[in-house]
Amino acid sequence: MNLFSSHNPATGEAVWTGPAADAPAVGQAVSHARAAFPAWSRRPHSEREALLRAFAQQLTTQREAMAQAISREVGKPHWEALTEVQSMAGKIDISIEAHARRCAEFNNTVGVTRFKPHGVVAVLGPFNFPGHLPNGHIVPALLAGNTVVFKPSEFAPAVAELTTRVWAAAGLPAGVLTLAQGNRDTGATLAAHPGIDGLFFTGSARAGLALSELYARTPEKILALEMGGNNPLVVHRAADQPAAALLTVQSAYLSAGQRCTCARRLIVPQGSEGDLFISRLLGLLGTLRVGAATDSGPSSASASAPPPTGPSRSWARSSPPLLRRVCSTPSSSSSPVEPGCWSG
């Protein structure tokens, strides 16, 4: 049995330990989802909708437990983890409205268009929003009558486990949402399993490219890819430079810089305008703190970058000149990665 663990990125404490699903376990999860599909897909849409609303209510009831799990496992401050749980609950109404608008039966002069469930779909979730982003795939898939095999990030198995318990408390039948915990090998096995009819992925561009190449051979299967970017932020002739500097810091460092929409590069004019803006920005960076989730929230260091005691420091030395390191943290394998600002 291949055991793996998730850890609190601020303390190194083990949060969750359990077996990674191997090929037989992945096959069993897909079989359970396939067995549950006929009854779930035939269930009246109104009943599926009601069950989703019950899930939203359960999330509201258990929002503190869910937020604490997110904070412990990926390092978000409690206030931000709570907003993630609220987004999960808010996805229900958004999905119901979108389904009614896009998937209703409609007629034209030559025929009738109807929508039907696709089958068993896999969802591969990321670590940066371990509740909200997989939820964004799972909720509309279930509403449409599909069954789901959910493989979460190996850095956030506890959040995924709690999420499935919340679904069970809402009354979701067994097999409709099946959890396959594990690492990259588990995800690759699930993605390649012939028993799934589609896959919804949020994660890196590299993994997304590999999935795109794999699914090019099976055009009858749905593939949805939501991948990260390398986002430039341009500041030019800002009418309010202090406000623009605040927005830049928020864009680059919110969620410890781990949102796919976070600014990675800043482009400013050469000369006095750009110099003044950089000066304002560095002043703001000096006010940021990195620590435990109860403080300002570390990054999930092991998930996104090496710890600052090893290769990341060498990487910083080989990069363009460092303008400002935001904070100083104890050097240990569990220390958060220290954010900074580099010139280039």
pLDDT tens column, 216-270: 999 999 999 998 777 899 999 999 999 999 999 999 988 878 888 888 899 999 9
pLDDT of residue 292: 80
Dist. CA 186–CA 266, nearest whole Å = 37
Helices (H), ranges, 125-156: 132-143
Domains held by the chain: number: 2
The last residue of one of the domains, among 193, 212, 227, is 227
pLDDT at residue 109 greater than cutoff 80: no
pLDDT of residue 329: 44
The last residue of one of the domains, among 227, 245, 279, is 227
Percent of the chain surpassing pLDDT 70 = 86
pLDDT confidence tier of residue 129, bands split at 50, 70 and 90? very high
Q: Tell me: do 106 and 153 sit in the same domain.
A: yes
pLDDT at residue 289 greater than cutoff 90: no
What the block records as the tokens of 321 is 């000149």
Q: Residue 329's domain is classified under what CATH number?
A: 3.40.309.10
Parallel, antiparallel, or unpaired: how do β-strands 3-7 and 14-19 relate?
antiparallel
Query: What is the torsion angle, in degrees rounded to the nearest 10, for the CA atoms of residue 198, residue 202, residue 205 and residue 209?
Result: -10
The last residue of one of the domains, among 227, 246, 265, is 227
Instruction: Provide mean pLDDT across the span 289-296.
Output: 71
Q: Tell me: do 246 and 153 sit in the same domain.
A: no
Q: Tell me: do 302 and 326 sit in the same domain.
A: yes
Q: Tell me: do 80 and 177 sit in the same domain.
A: yes
Check the CA dihedral 79-127-159-73 and report its sign. Answer: negative
- Domain around 121: 3-227
Higher-confidence residue of 58 and 103: namely: 58
pLDDT tens column, 165-210: 999 999 999 999 999 999 999 999 999 999 999 999 999 889 999 9
Q: Residue 206's domain is classified under what CATH number?
A: 3.40.605.10
Element (H, E) at 264: strand 263-267
The contacts found for 10-15 with CB under 8 angstroms, 24 or more apart, are 10/75, 10/291, 10/292, 10/293, 10/298, 10/334, 10/336, 11/292, 11/334, 12/332, 12/333, 12/334, 15/72, 15/73, 15/158
Instruction: Provide mean pLDDT across the span 22-35.
Output: 98
pLDDT confidence tier of residue 298, bands split at 50, 70 and 90? very low
Dist. CA 217–CA 157, nearest whole Å = 31
Residue 249 CB coordination number (10 Å) = 19
pLDDT of residue 313: 28
Dist. CA 71–CA 74, nearest whole Å = 6
Question: Contact, 37 vs 119, CB < 8 A?
Answer: yes
Question: Contact, 181 vs 157, CB < 8 A?
Answer: yes
pLDDT at residue 133 greater than cutoff 60: yes
pLDDT tens column, 145-171: 999 999 999 999 999 999 999 999 999
Which DSSP letter does residue 145 get?
A: T
Instruction: Provide mean pLDDT across the span 67-77.
Output: 94
Measured in degrees and rounded to the nearest 5, phi and psi for residue 31 equal -65, -40
Catalytic residues: 226, 260
Highest mean pLDDT among 72-76, 221-225, 338-342: 221-225
pLDDT tens column, 323-334: 665 544 444 444
Q: Return the minimum-mean-pLDDT range out of 89-93, 124-128, 261-265.
A: 261-265
In angstroms, how far is CA 173 from the centroid of its own chain? 25
pLDDT confidence tier of residue 290, bands split at 50, 70 and 90? confident
| 3-state DSSP of 92-122 | HHHHHHHHHHHCCCEECCCCEECCCCCCEEE
pLDDT at residue 322 greater than cutoff 80: no
Q: Tell me: do 266 and 195 sit in the same domain.
A: no
Q: Tell me: do 45 and 89 sit in the same domain.
A: yes
Q: Tell me: do 193 and 252 sit in the same domain.
A: no
Q: Give the helix, strand, coil percentages of the chain, each rounded to 5.
A: 45, 15, 35
Q: Tell me: do 172 and 210 sit in the same domain.
A: yes
pLDDT tens column, 29-41: 999 999 999 999 9
Of 218, 139, 125, 224, nearest to 179 (Cα)?
125
What mean pLDDT value characterizes the chain? Answer: 87
Q: Return the minimum-mean-pLDDT range out of 17-26, 79-88, 109-118, 201-210.
A: 109-118
pLDDT confidence tier of residue 278, bands split at 50, 70 and 90? very high
